Amino acid sequence: MWTYKTPGVPDELFMTAEEVPGPTKEEIRVLTVSKARVKEGFRVTDVGCGTGSITVEIALQVGPSGRVFAIDENEEAVKVTKENVKKFNVQDRVEVILGRAPEVMRDLPTMDAIIVGGSSFLKEVLKTSKEKLKEGGRIVINAITLDTAYEALRELERLGFREIDVVMVFVAKGRFVGGRVMMMARNPVTIISATKFG
């Protein structure tokens, strides 16, 4: 199992399901945790948790004194996330919730950070995130499509978030083929992060 404090659990250690996208690739998870500026004792929400790979990474960072709320409206995603949470022994600090993110988030306490990995209601999720984040809290959005990235940027600006940072990440992983290493490209991901002030 993963016994390190640093993020970057190998992808193959996570349980998956055919009906659930993910896990979020290792390199993207590392950058996401970094951009969220997570530390021990933090309260963090993972919106659109999918297989729970980011939930697990964040739970390892916040430690037993922190709390992670993983939300997904897909029953299978919630099931797989719970399996991964148990596998990595972080169930003492993770609550996995089945439901539509904006409504679920309204009942949660104030957050130090919110990760948005997927949502059909992006504008509504970002508006609710602004309400639920503490002053100086961080939001990180992982956008697979340019449309999502554009919508997120416009909405973050409209909501008055500051320190907006945009990074498009291109990763290629080596695969051994016939005794040689061939680099296989993964889909680029746009990581948008920002801070709530005011």
Q: Each residue of 66-118: pLDDT tens digit?
A: 999 999 999 999 999 999 999 999 999 999 999 999 999 999 999 999 999 96
The 10s digit of each residue's pLDDT in 135-181 is 999 999 999 999 999 999 999 999 999 999 999 999 999 999 999 99
Assigned domain for 127 exists: yes
Q: Which residue is it, tokens 């409209």?
A: 158
CATH number for position 182? 3.40.50.150
> Residue 81 and residue 17: Cα distance in Å, rounded?
10
Instruction: Kindly tell me the number of DSSP H helices and DSSP E strands found in the chain.
Output: 6, 9
> What is the number of domains present in the chain?
1
pTM: 0.94
Mapped onto helix, strand or coil, the DSSP state of residue 146 is helix
Residue type, 19: E
Assigned domain for 27 exists: yes
Assigned domain for 4 exists: no
Assigned domain for 99 exists: yes
Distant-in-sequence, close-in-space partners of 69: CB < 8 Å, separation ≥ 6 = 43, 44, 45, 46, 94, 95, 97, 104, 108, 111
Q: What is the extent of the structural domain holding 74?
A: 11-195
Assigned domain for 3 exists: no
